[in-house]
Structure 1
Amino acid sequence: MKKVFLIIGIISSLCACRQENRYLGEGEGVLSLQVTMGEAVEVVSRTSLGDEEIEALKNDCKVRIYEGDKLIRKYSSWSSVPEKIDLSAGTDYRVRVVAGDSVSASLDKKYYEGVETFSVVDGQTTSVEVNCNIANTLVKVNFSEELKTYLASGAVTVSVDAANGALDYNWSEEGTESSVGYYMLPSGKEYLTCVFNATTKNGKKITQTNKIEPAKASTLYTLTYALSTEEPEHPTDEGGAFFSLKVDETPLYTQEEEIGIYRRPVIRVMSGEEEISTDSPWFLSLNSSVSPQIIMSGSSTLTTASVEGTLLEKLGLSGIIDLLSEESVGVLQQKGIILTIPAEAQGKQIVMDWGNSWNELLKEETMYSLRYVLADEQGKQRELDWQIVVSDMNAQAVEIPRFETWADRTVFYGEVIEGHTPGAETVYSFQYRKKGEEAWSQNIPAVLSGQTIKSDVLKGLTPGTTYEYRILEDTKISNMICEVTTEEASVLPNSSFENWSGDIPKLIYGAGESMFWDSGNHGSQKVDMNVTTPDSAVKHSGNYSAKLSSIYANKLGIGQFAAGNIFIGQYLETQMSRLTGHGVLGLGRPFASRPLALRGYIRYISGNVDKGGDKIANGTQDKGIIYIALTDGEGEEFEGTRWSFVIKTKESKFFDKNGANVVAYGDKIWEASTEGEGMHEFVIPFEYRSMERIPNRIMLVAAASEFGDYFQGSTGSVMWIDDLELIYEESKLPENLR
């Protein structure tokens, strides 16, 4: 079988680096990635990848490099992978390459994956080949000829579960060959459920369910349905096992050398034939009867398996129960709980059968907890914190979507429990409290829409605080308590501009501190000048403000206009165009909060424009500007570091406030000098483009000359700024902005 493959090489040669005179430190190597695609991947469909599809896969492949379990390099497309990547010498590296579409179930979307371990050896060259094969589980359905005699219609539905996609394979008398289905099996659900619904020629309905377990990735399962030979008669009105199912398992490729890639242990809960989700609490009605089984599995031998929780305490079992100890086996058995380690699993699986031990605990409304901890000999771990809720409520509080919770506000969410139907006149509300407090709030009204229950926006919360909330159904209070934590009110480091270091260029951080702010001082240092400096004469508080002075930098008869500026980010380099120096600036720093506004203090002197051009004319008044933005996405990369945006004045590449990655934006332009010699308060509100996007970076730019990027403005313009503050709580906004 032909393959799609990637060639990855680790090259320690220094002469091939992008930048001249770039040397590696001792104990470092260089990783060089090369990508090529093979001719085709021929699977059961007998169709090959065309040149365009191969090229698309190659261009869109994602590359992740790990050191141990830590992700150290991440590239979202092949075009973003640098020619050379510096890595420290070591042996515990792993590269994972994926391409294609990872969807639950599809007839045409394929997903390719390749993993390889490698080492970086100081001073040596290593090459690594990663073969990317189809990672899907494939299904093809065949029907025997004899079914024509008895069936009028039929279809096989193959799925993992209802939430993870399903595909139909129709039976027809013409015997048309079925399409191939491509599935992605989520962790903990390595199986396929096959349901054959058919109608006989005399109009009787037949349903038969089969389960393929375990199902494997990169494997084709050919399912062949025929009439069952176990039945003495052909299908009758009484029903029964009508169809026999033959499953042919065919690996899509064979690895010449097996690589030890281990998944984390998996915990599954079964109640009879039904699998119970552990992603949310299990709701059980009062006086119900269950016999759950907990199946714990690992890719290698389990070395740790324990359980604790209030449910065990209610049964008289306190503390942490070691499920691998013989003593625990006996103690649990006395409570009707059976532990089994199947011999064929070779220590990789434990089955905990609770029997009927829960039933006495389901006679009063309450909530229980269980905490499972697993680890295997490869060091892979799995922890499960799970709740069992006993209640006759029709609704439950549920997790609040991330975007709904800000620093000072949230919206409470609930939903109707599956299988329950609330009364038409039922009134819902919520109560909340800070975690650790006793008293609950007054009722917060909520509205039922479909199956979802939502409150109005609740404002006035405290940033960075965990709250508990619960739902009420009329006057009945649910015992299910959920938590939500408000966003942190993150601050801008050195936002009062008290810390400085260096001479030329002047740096906006103290000795030994990390850079957050930067300026054009790196460009103007070529003429022994700073455009941004500390000033103790004009300030709002503390010792200094930041003074931004627009200048005409002249040395040896060669000069150019430079605006006084300060920004969040870093001045990256100067690119020369004849005698003109052009800056490359990386804007933005990591940031994940959502403030409502920026507050600060300013004094501005607007000079008469003497370095005008197409943006602002000579003789007019200069303008000062401050703009701030929150961005998301991967941003732009420059020499291995990602920024919200990279400005390149030589290419006339400037920040676009309407860019696709801008989550929120705000600005203020001063068209004249501020009054007097003191500083004035200003507030710039954020305008959010989407209330559902969470930023990952913040950027801010202040300039004494708005068009300084174009080398236009006034050499008489000066801006002082001090005490910048992000506002998160609506109560702290000016009245006109609330």
Structure 2
Amino acid sequence: MKKYITAALLFCAALTAACSKETAGSADTGDTGALEMRVSATRAEADGEYDPLQRLAVRIYRASGELLRQYTAETLPSRLELLAGEYRVEVDAGEAVPASFTKRFYKGEKTFTVAAGQTTVAEVECKRQNVVAEVKFDATVSAAFGENFHAWVVAADAFDEGQVQQGGVPALNYTADGTGYFTMPEGATTLTTRFEGTHPDRGVIVREARFEGVQTGGKYSVSFRFSKDLPGFIECFVVKVDTSTDDYDDTFPFSPEPSIESDGFDMDQPQDFIPGTTSPKRYMITTMAAVKSVVIGIGDDSYEALNGTTEGVEVTRESDLSLTVTLSDAFFAGRPGGSHPVSIRVTDSAGAEATAISEYRLQGLLPIEKTDYNLWTNSLTLRALVLDPNVTTATFGLRVKDGEWSDADGVNAGEGIYTATFTAQWKESVNAAGLTVHTPVAGTGVFAGNSYEARAALDGETVSSAEFQAAAGQVIPDGDMESGSLPCFGKSTSESTTFWGSGNAATSGLCAQSTKPGMGGSYCAKLESQSAFGLLAAGNLFSATFRFASLSGTASFGMPYQWTARPTALRLKYHATVGAVNKGTVTEEHEYIQDGQDRSRIFAVIVDWNSRHATVAGMGSPTGVWDPAKTAETAEGPVIAYGSLLIGETTPGDAMTTVEIPIEYYDRTTKPTGAYTLIISCTTSAYGDFKVGCLGNVMYVDDFEWVY
């Protein structure tokens, strides 16, 4: 149905004695005419509260576009003289506001000719510039919701309550049947409707729908009806469209969400489930259209219940629109203890969907998280949830995967939680220097990157078990030797190194990037002894800075390293060529080469120092020489642990070999927190600082990493 205001403008052009002051833009003569104007509107567009014609604006333009006259409803004359010629009239009626239940806006224009001695009548159709939204509530809505319902209509792609409350979008709130008028924002072509109601049994019910491609002047009628078949839901949403150019109906079916109800328990409360004791849990499902899918989710798993293949899930169909799902012991079997949200998602053939979530608490070993273990103290706390009040004891077990079990009695921590803590066991021994050292017993405690199995038994019967992998350990910076820009490979570039350095200064061949069969990646480090000023300069690579001045070099040992996991060994690839001592004189202090055979050396040291330890070697006797295998403390602070490898013979073959150097701990409890906490050192001659060893020793090293 067309809706418009008719503005009837009567233009009478006749010869008169009066003179006009205007000069018509297209008049051929000075003849004038009289204009009589009447404005009327269809009564369907006016109501008792608001009449658009009382808010009228009329503008008359010459053919050239120049504004000639403008009037309001109050100033519009009953007679107007115009020169004969071409004119255009524009008429506005009403008010343009974002959204209103009363105010609306119309526009129209017409081109006409005033001819001398003739009467000209021009009819201007003023079309509505609003989008009209009519909302109707069926009687079933008020019967179900009382007064606790309303519907928003907004001129936007989606309902945003914040925007609505702030007035950011045109919006109207309907609490009863009504018609509203919207001035669409530029570029907006969507009306969004949102029904909100509070049902005494179902609680809050919300329905949203959009109508896209709305047209200015169109009327969109929305009807809400309450479903008699499934109480608590709005059954459908019907949109009827009436525009000034076309009449058509669009129907948007909105099937209500399926109903999912628990049978004999409260879904909003956690449910304790003890296999063999707790009764199966039943869910009653009702839909408006045939059930299409019932998906049950728990943890990372999901199952289609209608397939009938999931153990512990039973489906009983009462009809196409009604069924019961039962969860029994087998469904929960093998799940860890603790809280498990179980979701049931139902979809029907009309596309309606609903999801219900129940929380189940299961008895048994709780999932093992990173917060349950400490990779420096190598301890782990296992926890179990015990729901059965008749249980008197809880026992826990831990082992490296496929290893030997270690068991511990659980302690009641309250609220049904039992715990037991496992720690690393230590073997105590005395090293060659007579110092007490400790090494962890294999298979005890928890170490980085290893896989473990845990179990919990209640009153002697294992109720659950789990496998887990401890978090990965730490990496050694640039341990793969792949970067050719490392300071250790350059000459006089180790003074400000952040990890790897070398004694390359007076000579540059002590440490170089190279290749060797058996290396990892594309490169390795090559350490080679050199002759400097006729003295032995041992090839070296270390985590230290190095400064050469006045014919002496100072290696300052110690690098910052944030320890998170305790290592048990240093692993690397190496190949060594080692000969007899042919430079310098062996004395009593050169303990490791008393037999005349030189020895290369690799060691790693965990320290807790606040400053670096300086060793100075030059033309005279060295100072600051130290051996981590012979001291548990230096002036800089404690030595926590060390691992040392002496190499007294040439590696067989030409390929590098892998070695693991065990770490022995002086202090098995302290975690380093000092400014400098790690030293790694490799040298072709163990007593290179004394310039004693074999000129000709060569050692390749690569792929430094920790073993846990």
- Whether TM-score is above 0.5 comes out as no
Larger Rg: 2
Larger strand proportion of the pair:
2
Q: Normalising by structure 1, what TM-score?
A: 0.35
Q: Normalising by structure 2, what TM-score?
A: 0.36
